[in-house]
Amino acid sequence: MVSTLLILAAGRGSRYGGPKQLERYGSGRHALMEYGIFDALRHGIGRVIVAVSKTGKDAAKELLEQAGRKVPIDFLIQDSADAPRGMKIPDALAASPGTAHAIFCARHRIDGPFAVINGDDFYAPAAWDAMAKIADWNGSNRAAIVAYQLASTLSPNGAVSRGICHIEDDKLISLKEMTGIIAANGKILSETGDVLPPDTPVSMNFFSFPKNFVELLAEDGEKFFQSQRSGEWALPDAISRMLGEKLFSMAAASSNAPWFGVTHRTDRATVEIALAEAISKGLYAENLW
């Protein structure tokens, strides 16, 4: 049984103009990560780790005070001084070392299988149901990803970055980070002008992993920081490298469940409407806790 939910919430929100994972929505004044915690509890997860920045820890603790009465929440500072085998993360990467680094920093606190989500995304109950099934949370537990259809993850307010999934026979073959994706003139275009099908499966960092994944990740990080002096240690890229080396396999499901999140500040209105709709359908109460 998966035991822990790890929430990635240390991002700076440069395009949003601030720590978007701390924004509250609706009459209940809940952050998006609270809906993730609520759905995790519905699936038997009994512990939460939130990876935050040094400056964001106090605000995150205040934000999740009510949720913390329902489930133990551990706040982990993502510190660039913590690097594989005592290596030094290059100064160019220290301010934003990446999502893979956040999981690496949590290695000593992960004591079993764990799920991963972003702190500024809403994943929907149907996607949680799909994850519990393909990751076999009631059995042996295996690495898994729930991918979303690209068209449902775009912002009407500007370009986004997405991990493009190559899936064959219900297994993830590779992940490729693509930047500058935008809808224009009835088409979905990448930064390089490539036209992307609307149903292209994309990663929104909704994963499940067995405990030994953190050991494989540490080895990948050592290789990454030995060879890279720019660019973040991003989780999609790390997973793709490890899959290419056949270090593990990952079950995959492409879901048409609704997803929403905030990339640009003007996305906030869309999130408010989408949450109100989810509440009106009876998926959540106005006050979660």
Is the pLDDT confidence value at 264 over 90? no
Measured CA angle at 125 (ends 124, 130), to 5 deg: 105
In a domain, 286, yes or no: no
Amino acid found at 283: L
Residue 285 resides in a domain: no
User: Are the C-beta atoms of residues 251 and 110 closer than 8 Å to each other?
Assistant: no
Inside any domain, residue 126: yes
What the block records as the tokens of 267 is 């996305």
> Is the Cα dihedral 22, 38, 47, 138 positive or negative?
negative
pLDDT in tens, 133-161: 999 888 878 999 999 999 999 988 888 88
Mean pLDDT of 252-264: 89
CATH of the domain at 93: 3.90.550.10
Spatial separation of the C-alpha atoms in residues 238 and 220, rounded to whole Å: 7
- CA nearest neighbour of 283 among 2, 63, 66, 26: 26
Give the separation between CA 98 and CA 80, rounded to whole angstroms. 10
Q: Is residue 142 part of a domain?
A: yes
Query: Quick check: is 288 in a domain?
Result: no
The answer to the question of residue 79 being in a domain is yes
Report yes or no on 154 lying in a domain.
yes
- Residue 108 token pair: 């000593």
Q: What is the pLDDT of residues 266-280, one digit of tens each?
A: 889 999 999 999 999
Answer whether residue 61 is part of any domain.
Answer: yes
Domain extent, residue 61, equals 4-280
Query: Which of 82-91, 99-108, 229-238, 249-258 comes out lowest in average pLDDT?
Result: 82-91
Q: Which pair of tokens denotes residue 174?
A: 């590779």
pLDDT in tens, 165-206: 999 999 999 998 888 999 988 899 988 888 999 999 999 999
Number of folded domains that form the chain:
1
pLDDT attached to residue 229: 62
For 208-229, write each residue's pLDDT tens digit: 999 999 999 999 999 888 886 6
pTM (two decimals): 0.93
